[in-house]
Amino acid sequence: MENEVLLSVRDLKKHFTMGKNEILKAVDGISFDIYKGETFGLVGESGCGKSTAGRTMIGLYDRTDGEVVFNGKDVHSLSEKEKFQFHKQMQMIFQDPYASLNPRSTVKEIISEPMEVHGLFPNKKERSERIYQLLEDVGLNRDHANRYPHEFSGGQRQRIGIARALALDPDFIIADEPISALDVSVQAQVVNLLKRLQEEKGLTYLFIAHDLSMVKQISDRIGVMYLGHIVELTASNQLYNKPLHPYTQALLSAILYRIRMWRISGSVSSCRENCQVQWIRRAAVSSEPDASTLWTSVPRRNLSGRRSTKTIMLPVIYMMNM
């Protein structure tokens, strides 16, 4: 890995205005660098702000504060001409492989679109060849080109999303949970595909996931996100040997015990304002045989800004003997 910074995130914030006085601090001051050629994993449970961070980094969302510097330029203050160039260099693989593919377009049209916009391969025959090559790169074949997204399995659809992201030959790809919608057997295939493409094309990845075991396989460094903050950032092997933050420890024990994550409920999102993890403890749950639950306690500040003295208990992870 070269130590050249490709992307630098500084105190990035993305807040959503929910009502008159309600602000949801989805991303609340995250900072990290991503080096050329590395894979930076961003993990954390559902709702902690991973996708919002990725979407803000690629400029799909305006930032509330902070900056994202890519190749020396602030992503949110690019001129139209610079933006055009930037979109060639940074691409995103979206979390939901079905929703992100136009159901009325054939695979060929889907992959061809960014090339047309950027004036790549103006010769139709050459463009078709490039599309077939991309399909083969991601483990599909040219016969798939004239089919529609609904004619594919989830794993194949994700491959189409990857082919589309590769169409402009980018340097940097934000892969937002590229494997979480897939069957376990297909997950490894897609991870291997991403690794192979990285080696062949010298790609840099931001790999977003809530499953630490998969992130470990692919990432050089990992940032652990919790309620809009990065609570730990370290080399992936160190994270496993010496987790510092209690939340990371909870996530790791989730792997050791093969725990199933619970999706965070609405009530958790609503107390993200100024939330800090204070401690995490494990408590036995009597209603479930052979199961226990990890709980985290956060000081609650309600959305109108008043601090509640009540400390609420939030179930974070549900463990089962599998």
Ligand X SMILES: Nc1ncnc2c1ncn2[C@@H]1O[C@H](COP(=O)(O)OP(=O)(O)OP(=O)(O)O)[C@@H](O)[C@H]1O
Regarding 16 and contact with ligand X (CB under 6 A), the answer is yes
| 76/134 Cα distance (integer angstroms) | 30
Contact between 52 and ligand X by CB under 6 A: the answer reads: yes
Which among Mg ion, ligand X, none contacts residue 56 (Cβ within 5 to 8 A by kind)?
none
Residue type, 141: N
User: Residue 137 and residue 168: Cα distance in Å, rounded?
Assistant: 14
Contact segment (CB under 6 A) with ligand X among 30-38, 48-56, 74-82, 108-116 equals 48-56
Residue range at the interface with ligand X (CB under 6 A); choices 31-39, 45-53, 104-112, 186-194: 45-53
**Of 86, 87, 63, nearest in space to 76 by CA:** 63
> Does the footprint of ligand X cover residue 48 (CB under 6 A)?
yes
Q: In terms of CB distance, is 14 or 108 closer to ligand X?
A: 14
Binding partner at 26 among Mg ion, ligand X, none, C-beta below 5 to 8 Å by kind: ligand X
Question: Quick one: 51 or 91, whose CB is closer to Mg ion?
Answer: 51
Task: Tell me the Cα Rg of the chain.
Answer: 21
- Residue 16 interacts, among Mg ion, ligand X, none and using kind-specific CB cut-offs from 5 to 8 Å, with ligand X
Residue type, 231: V
Choose, by CB under 6 A, the member of 37, 47, 97, 161 that binds ligand X: 47
- Candidate residues 51, 56, 91, 156; the one interacting with Mg ion per rule CB under 5 A: 51
Smallest separation, CB 50 to Mg ion (Å): 5
| 254, 316 contact by CB (below 8 A) | no
Query: Shortest distance, CB of residue 51 to Mg ion, whole angstroms?
Result: 3
Using CB under 6 A, which of the segments 40-48, 125-133, 232-240, 251-259 binds ligand X? 40-48
Determine if residue 12 is left, alpha or beta; phi over 0 gives left, psi from -120 to 50 gives alpha, anything else beta: beta
Q: Check binding of 267 to ligand X (CB under 6 A).
A: no
Question: Which CB atom, from 51 or from 100, has the smaller least distance to Mg ion?
Answer: 51
* Residue 190: Cβ within 10 Å count: 23
For 143-270, where are the alpha helices, taking DSSP H only? 154-166, 184-201, 212-218, 236-241, 246-256, 266-269
Contact partner, 210, from Mg ion, ligand X, none, Cβ < 5-8 Å per class? ligand X
Q: In terms of Cα–Cα distance, which of 74, 98, 80, 102 is closest to 9?
A: 74
Q: Which is nearer to Mg ion, 51 or 112 (CB)?
A: 51
Taken in order 28, 31, 32, 33, the sign of the CA dihedral is: positive
Closest separation in Å from C-beta 131 to ligand X: 30
Examine residue 269 and tell whether it contacts Mg ion (CB under 5 A): no
Identify the residue among 204, 269, 293, 296 touching ligand X (CB under 6 A). 269
Quote the tokens at residue 306. Answer: 């008043």
The item of Mg ion, ligand X, none sharing an interface with residue 63, based on CB under 5 to 8 Å by kind, is none
161-164's contacts with Cβ under 8 Å and 24+ in sequence apart are 161/93, 161/94, 161/97, 161/100, 161/101, 162/93, 162/138, 162/190, 162/193, 162/194, 162/197, 163/107, 163/111, 163/131, 163/134, 163/135, 163/137, 163/138, 164/101, 164/110, 164/111, 164/114
Among positions 178-217, residues that touch ligand X (CB under 6 A) are: 210
* Nearest-approach distance from CB 45 to Mg ion, in angstroms: 10
| Footprint of ligand X (CB under 6 A) | 16, 24, 26, 44, 46-52, 95, 210, 269
Residues at the site binding Mg ion, with contacts judged by CB under 5 A: 51
